[in-house]
Chains A and B, each alone.
Chain A
Amino acid sequence: MGPSTGGDTAASRVNGDGTSPDDPAPVDATNWPHVIRRALIAAALSASVVVVLAFPIVSHLAKPGQSGALALETRWGLVAGLAAAAAVFSALSQLLSGHRRAVAVRTPTTAASSDVSTFRETIGKVAPWIGLVALLLYPPFVVATTGWAGAIKWVDNFGVQILIYVMLAWGLNIVVGLAGLLDLGFIAFAAVGAYSYTLISIHVLPSVAPGLVPFAFWICLPFAAVLASFAGILLAFPVLRLRGDYLAIVTLAFGEMIRLVLVNWNSLTNGYAGLNAPRITFFGLPFASRTGETTFAEVFGLDLSPTVLRAIFLYYVILALALFTAWVTIRLRRMPIGRAWEALREDEIACRALGLNTVTIKLSAFAIGAAFAGMAGAFFATRQGFINPKSFEFMESATVLAIVVLGGMGSLTGCAIAAMVMIGGTELLRELDWLKLIFGRDFDPTQYRMLLLGLALVVLMIWRPRGLVTSRDPSIALKRRKAVSATLVKEGAG
């Protein structure tokens, strides 16, 4: 893209890529003195860049002093540490690229890739089923290993939490991964679902059909899905004419608008104070009873705390919902509409030229994606027992988007693994209290979660733009008959 600058700014060598065409790349790749000299230069440059960037935002901490006014506290040690880290990092990456070049010269690549790809295909076919069995057996396994008390933490904090994000990611996957429409306000649909569930079950159901109140969740679930998909269609109308970037920002603005309405419409939503959502029941049997109805534990003669039973039940409910999402996605992908989504993602103009109605394609992608988000939102409400607008901020949308991107935009297995890593990793970060012993008492590992997430998005786009876990090619493509059949076989496994 344009003539190379060969490093006209100090910054241009920050990440130590020596790949510009007119770089004086070593003819003999094993020219170590040369490589080392380059590494040292790169180290010096990136260290100085870091020092300039660190001034004054890292080097001086503004914090309230004795009188309450802000005072500065210098932290040159921290700056030196960051600069040293940057220097070591870029020197190492220079050395490694030198080493890689040397290795590449010595060993020409062999054509063993076909074995690898069949192996990967087999893995790709088998892995989802193994994963499914593992998911089904997860609660009994946890109960067997940690006892009933540990089950709450592992089933609820890890299992249910991760599966909510898996479902959200699979919903967003339809919009972003399949249809290629970048949606930054996805969590707003979950908000619509959560509030629809809560409001219908609080205000509408008791007056319309009091007998059905115990079944609130099951009755409201479809309503949540339908209302969320209406919201999706409502959003899609203004953005139909827009391309990638515009669309992303408008979805973001729309998501924020929904959140701000939820914050400000006090008479309906109670603002930040939030609403109490009815808890889930076992198809009408409550887990904990306040008014003396028979509870689940009494009917089945179990002597266990309602929290544990509810957590395990919630786990299976969200697993079923997530699998439903996956099933619908897989089926839709084989239908004309799914093909149309993928065609839209690959080339919108070609799509139109072939007579596809891009309006319906986009609307259906938004509507179906939003419906799943709505269901996930309703589930979230019944699981928390309480909702307020704080749960539906932009960062949640960004997290779900990061999961989809990390999972390879389109791959169901990829999304699931990415959700496990990201959400499970976050939950694990909470556990890492021992880090406080190393970094001091103020160290809060959860602060670094979003920092790492942002960094991961950038690094991923540069390093593996098609996702970390797997990638998904169009389900059907011209002139690749072999690949097509192979991909279609893979369909069933997602």
Chain B
Amino acid sequence: MTSNQFADGITYLLQQVVNGITLGSIYGLIALGYTMVFGIIGMVNFAHGDVFMVSAFIALILYLLVSSLIGASSTIVTILLVLVMTMALTAFWSIVIERVAYRPLRGSFRLAPLISAIGMSIFLMNFVQVVQGPNNKSLPPVLDGGLRVPVDATHFFTISYKQLLIIAVTSGLLAVFWWLVQKTSLGRAQRACEQDRKMAALLGINVDRTIAITFAIGGALAAVAGCLYLVLYGVVNHHDGFVPGIKAFAAAVLGGIGSLPGAVLGGLIIGLVETLWAAYVSSDYKDVVAFAVLALTLVIKPTGLLGRPEVEKV
């Protein structure tokens, strides 16, 4: 192998790794919503992928709205404005969904919340189809250009500004989120509810509100993912919540459901595996890979990479 070929290979690999990390950040953000909700009330919020899709639609419309109001000159300001508004609106959606579809079911039979969540997922998907139509909605490219990173004198791989934005926003928000969960009283209440909801209630923690806030945070993170997804691909459709939703769930399981760093790690791994598979093996089966990772994790190590073994007390 000549050194030129070698450099070609390395450049291609690095490019794919950057792409994988970008995609993985989005999965990680969605996975956090799954893992937090699972940690606190032990249910898979099946509608979370569709909340992500709704947030992408909200972001799309807000982007059009805001850019028509303040002009398209300052893209970054527009994006940040849209991001914050979308986070707020999606958090509200998430709270309402929890209140309407899940809270009345606490204490119902085992499968009830999950079936309700599936219903909510189908509802959201078709609601968006009815109100916004079945066609793809595409934005003109939001951020163009990128950084050329040299591998050697003649080889470069590109980190586009979109990817930089995605990685920067994700890591910034993850830091805020980490602080929220580890250092604030809200985070303490949340972790207390995770351990023992009844005891937390006896100690004066407002469990219902803590759960609602958990859903709100999960929704806000999904909204970030939705905005970034829109920036990355520029296209959104009412079906777009389904597959990313399952992949993010796979990420949450891979990282160990209930574990917050695990969700991010799992997201990055799924993103990387998927991108590298598509780049080196076949792009046809890239969705199958994520599902296969999910199945393999559950067979080999059901607790995931960073999860605690769940001891069932009777």
Which positions in A face B, CB cutoff 8 Å?
A: 1-5, 8-9, 11-12, 14-15, 17, 49, 52-53, 55-58, 60-63, 69-72, 180, 182, 184, 237-239, 241-242, 244-246, 248-250, 252-254, 256-257, 260-261, 264, 349, 394-395, 398, 401-402, 405, 447-448, 450-451, 453-458, 460-462, 465
Pick the interface stretch among B112-120, B156-164, B169-177: B112-120
Across the interface, do B288 and A458 meet the contact criterion of CB distance under 8 Å?
Answer: no
- Which residue of B43, B130, B242, B302 contacts A394 across the interface (Cβ within 8 Å)? B242
Are A4 and B208 in contact, with the CB atoms below 8 A?
yes
Complex partner residue of B246 from A2, A14, A252, A448, CB under 8 angstroms: A252
A contact residues around B122 at 8 Å (CB): 395, 398, 450-451, 453-454, 457
Which B residues are within 8 Å of any A CB, using their own CB? Answer: 38, 42-44, 46, 54, 57-58, 60-62, 64-65, 68, 89, 92-93, 95-96, 99-101, 104-116, 118-133, 137-140, 197-198, 200-201, 205-209, 212, 242-243, 246, 249-250, 253, 284-285, 287-288, 291-292, 294-296, 298-299, 302, 312, 314
Q: Are A451 and B197 in contact (CB under 8 A)?
A: no
- Residues A256 and B95 in contact, CB atoms below 8 Å apart: no
Q: For the complex, give the distance between the alpha carbons of A241 and B300 in Å.
A: 11
Q: Which single residue of chain A is at the shortest CB-CB distance from B250?
A: A253
A-side interface mostly? helix
User: Which listed residue (A56, A70, A395, A455) contacts B62, Cβ 8 A?
Assistant: A56
Q: Which residue of A lies closest to B300 (CB)?
A: A238
- Complex Cα distance A2/B285, Å? 46
Cross-chain contact A242 with B118 (CB below 8 angstroms): no
Is B43's CB under 8 angstroms from A245's CB?
Answer: yes
> Which residues of the other chain, B, contact A256 by a CB distance below 8 angstroms?
243, 246, 287, 291
Which residues of B have CB within 8 Å of A62?
60-61, 64, 132, 137
Give the distance in Å from the alpha carbon of A454 to the alpha carbon of B295 in the complex: 27
For residue A61, which residues in chain B have a CB less than 8 angstroms away from its CB? 131-133
Q: Given A14-B100, A238-B295, decide whether A57 and B119 contact each other with a Cβ distance below 8 A.
A: no
30 A–B pairs (Cβ distance < 8 Å), ordered by A: A3-B201, A5-B206, A5-B209, A9-B95, A9-B209, A11-B96, A49-B96, A53-B93, A56-B89, A57-B57, A57-B128, A62-B132, A72-B68, A180-B111, A241-B298, A242-B302, A245-B114, A250-B294, A253-B291, A256-B287, A257-B288, A394-B242, A398-B118, A402-B119, A453-B122, A454-B118, A454-B120, A457-B122, A458-B123, A461-B105
Q: Residue on B with the closest CB to A181? A: B111
Partner of A57, one of B104, B132, B207, B294: B132
User: How far is the CB of A185 from the nearest CB of chain B, in Å?
Assistant: 10
